[in-house]
Amino acid sequence: MSRRLAKLNPYELHKHLINEYILTKPGATKLLQRDTSRDKTDRDVLREHHRFLWEDGDTVDSWEKQLAKKYYDKLFREYCIADLSRYRENKVAMRWRIEKEVVLGKGQFICGGRSCEEREALRSWEVNFAYLEQGAKKNALVKLRLCPSCSDKLNYHSKKREIKRLKKREKKEKISRRDKVEESDIVEAGSIVQSSTEERTSDRETEDSDNQAETSVHDAELPSSSAPATDSCWTKGPEVEEKTREEEFDEYLEDLLL
């Protein structure tokens, strides 16, 4: 027997010993199965190490945290998606949007409720999101775009702050009023400058006339002096600031959200 075993390679010897000494009873193959109770997938690692907000000073000292931070960097953190299924208990779950939702407009042009697809009469809300993370209580100020029905659910216990945008007509009226005030200030400044220059010219004319009278009395000829130049009454108007491409794009998006 020993001579036969000596001729076997390590794998065949291992297989022979397992079959002879371990797999001698029915159901003994379960002893060969690997324990998978402690196995973790990437999803489990993300759930364990995910953070709603990562700070600049947070340490990333393990591959699990590196995976969670890399996933966090791919999220779009402007608007949130909310789960309002337990709004009666004053419990609202929130998360950031993924790329697919941003492309579809979910959370901005479509209601930010997780199971809502309403597109009309959306309203923007600013919510102080209080959550429990790794045993510590934290707060974050987030924005939501919800339809009237989901807005009622969000404000079921307390009224949240609504973010309102000025309409295009109101913006124009506000800008025109501001321009009128600036023009009136410029006109007043110009009138003050003009009146002061007129006073100075009148004073100089009276002085010149007095000097001419004195010269006629003493029969003395003096060289004629040129008239003093008056100050210009024109002032530089307000400079028009050129808008950057980002500001024009933001205004375009605001007009779409009206």
HSE, side-chain direction, 13 A CA sphere, residue 173? 5
Percent residues over pLDDT 90 in the chain:
41
- Give 144-175 as a 3 state SS string: EEECHHHHHHHCCCCCCEEECCCCHHHHHHHH
Q: Which two tokens stand for residue 104?
A: 């579809």
Q: Is 133:51 a contact under the CB 8 Å cutoff?
A: yes
Per-residue pLDDT of 183-198, as tens digits, reads 666 656 555 555 556 5
Rounded (10°) CA dihedral 181, 184, 185, 187? 160
Q: Phi-psi region for residue 144, left (φ > 0), alpha (ψ -120 to 50) or beta?
A: beta
This prediction's pTM:
0.55
Q: Which residues of the chain have pLDDT under 50?
A: 213, 215-230
Q: What is the pLDDT of residue 221?
A: 46
Name residue 166's amino acid: L
CA 60, CA 101: separation in Å to the nearest integer? Answer: 28
Give the separation between CA 175 and CA 66, rounded to whole angstroms: 49
3-state helix, strand and coil shares in percent for the chain, rounded to the nearest 5? 45, 15, 35
Q: Based on DSSP, count helices (H) and strands (E) in the chain, helices before strands.
A: 8, 5
